[in-house]
């Protein structure tokens, strides 16, 4: 299946500077190519109040086109190489500004809260969009299991960075591990999901199994995949992308049609599988729910 993508005259994806870095680093070699992963059903209850009515992007599209730079710089790298990821045993460590550091086994964490299916808009900073039925539970559920201290103002999400499983972690494409972060109130917002599945299935490896973050009003790169650590911190942290290109990727990264990326406009987007362009919505269509989090802030300054 060929997926239409905007012509390169319209966008210059992060991929292009990643490529330059890759060349500078002397390239990397990858081992075997995997076949399609077998899907495992994951029951959940549709949360209609948190879902949009739009038709989801095909599963085959969302699993074959994406970004997971630990597995390579191309859109099909995750689908080709993420089969190397070992998702059991898997633990999530919660530390930093907490009374007691805790480590949870993924299978225990899966029982924390009823799993919900939520159909969210998804917007990649590169100019493509999608509609995805994620399965998961609000990040706020985690806060019931740990006691944070008064110093906890921000939350970092750390992806696994194991060169044995993730060949491109040997290449300085980004400052590994992939770390993303939110302000505590953003993390606590009921739209913020810890996702463990999509399309009725256990999360495919290429989409960030076994646990990833979904923040639907922000650009997709905020949604760290294959998370192993959540750290509460006092100061606004640097993230993989703010370190890589601080003038192109801001800490907030709220979807905003009025604030162009340094190298391309964000006014429109193309949903994967569609040819027409759609206007990009402020906060990706979630303004009613989240605009209040940013009251009084200059969103051009805090992009």
Residues of the shown chain interacting with ligand MTE in the complex, contacts defined by CB under 6 A? 62, 66-70, 78, 124, 159, 178, 207, 220-221, 223-226
Alpha-carbon span 143 to 135, nearest angstrom: 19
Minimum Å gap between C-beta 223 and ligand MTE is 5
Q: What does the alpha-carbon distance between residue 106 and residue 92 come to, in Å, rounded to a whole number?
A: 7
Rounded to a whole number of angstroms, the minimum distance from the CB of residue 66 to ligand MTE is 2
When the beta carbons of 25 and 297 are compared against ligand MTE, the nearer one is 25
Tokens of 135: 């399965």
How near is the Cβ of 13 to ligand MTE at its closest, in Å?
9
As measured in angstroms, the least distance from the Cβ of 298 to ligand MTE is 25
Q: What is the dihedral of CA 68, 69, 74, 77, to 10 degrees?
A: -60
Element (H, E) at 63: helix 59-64
- Which residue carries 């190397």 as its tokens? 84
Nearer to ligand MTE, 189 or 212 (CB): 212
In the complex with ligand MTE, which residue's Cβ is closer, 189 or 222? 222
Nearer to ligand MTE, 192 or 226 (CB): 226
Which of 22, 69, 37, 51 lies closest to 225, judged by CA?
69
- CB nearer to ligand MTE: pick between 61 and 148: 61
Among candidate residues 190, 208, 189, the one with its CA nearest the CA of residue 198: 208
**Residue 41 and residue 199: Cα distance in Å, rounded?**
9
Q: Shortest Cβ distance from residue 251 to ligand MTE (Å)?
A: 15
């Amino acid at each position: 299946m060929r997926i239409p993508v905007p012509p390169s005259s319209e966008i210059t994806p992060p991929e292009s500077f990643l490529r330059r870095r890759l060349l500078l680093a002397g390239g990397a070699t990858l081992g075997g190519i995997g076949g399609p992963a077998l899907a495992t059903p994951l029951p959940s209850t549709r949360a209609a109040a948190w879902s949009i009515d739009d038709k989801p992007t095909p599963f085959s599209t969302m699993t074959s086109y994406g970004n997971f730079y630990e597995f390579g710089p191309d859109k099909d790298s995750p689908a080709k190489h993420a089969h190397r990821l070992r998702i059991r045993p898997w633990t999530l460590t919660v530390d930093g500004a907490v009374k007691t550091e805790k480590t949870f086994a993924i299978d225990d964490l899966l029982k924390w809260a009823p799993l919900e299916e939520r159909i969210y808009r998804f917007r990649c900073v590169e100019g493509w969009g999608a509609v995805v039925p994620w399965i998961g539970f609000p990040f706020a559920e985690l806060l019931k299991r740990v006691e944070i201290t008064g110093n906890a103002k921000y939350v970092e999400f750390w992806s696994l960075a194991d060169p044995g499983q993730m060949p491109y972690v040997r290449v300085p494409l980004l400052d590994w591990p992939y770390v993303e972060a939110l302000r505590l109130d953003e993390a606590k917002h009921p739209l913020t999901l810890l996702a463990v599945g999509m399309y009725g299935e256990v999360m495919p490896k290429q989409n960030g199994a076994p646990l990833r973050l979904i923040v639907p009003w922000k650009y997709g790169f905020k949604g760290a995949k294959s998370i192993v650590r959540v750290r509460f911190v006092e100061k606004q942290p640097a993230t993989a992308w703010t370190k890589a290109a601080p003038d192109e990727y801001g800490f907030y990264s709220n979807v905003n049609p009025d604030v162009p990326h340094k190298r391309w406009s964000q006014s429109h987007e193309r949903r994967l599988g569609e040819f027409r362009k759609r206007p990009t919505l402020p906060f990706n269509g979630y303004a009613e729910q989240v605009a209040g989090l940013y009251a009084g802030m200059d969103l051009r300054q805090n992009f």
